[in-house]
Amino acid sequence: MFGELEGQMKKRIEVSVGGLSEALDRFEQVWRKAEKGEVRPAEVRLTFESLPVLLRNLTPARWTLLERLKRDGPLSINELSRRLGRHYKNVHTDVSRLIELGLIERRTDQRVVVAWDIVSAEMRLAA
Q: What is the rounded CA–CA span in Å between residue 5 and residue 2?
A: 5
Residue ranges of E strands in the chain: 12-17, 45-48, 104-106, 112-114, 118-122
Q: What is the rounded CA–CA span in Å between residue 77 and residue 111?
A: 7
Q: Where are the domains of the chain?
A: 2-122
Q: Is 2-122 CATH 1.10.10.10? A: yes
Task: Name the 3-class secondary structure at 81.
Answer: helix
Q: What are the Cα distances from residue 63, in Å, to 28, 59, 67, 94, 108?
A: 32, 6, 6, 10, 24
Q: Each residue of 103-122: pLDDT tens digit?
A: 999 999 999 999 888 888 77
pLDDT of residue 88: 97
Does the structure show a pLDDT above 50 at 53? yes
Q: Each residue of 56-87: pLDDT tens digit?
A: 999 999 999 999 999 998 999 999 999 999 99
DSSP state of 106: E
Does the structure show a pLDDT above 70 at 2? no
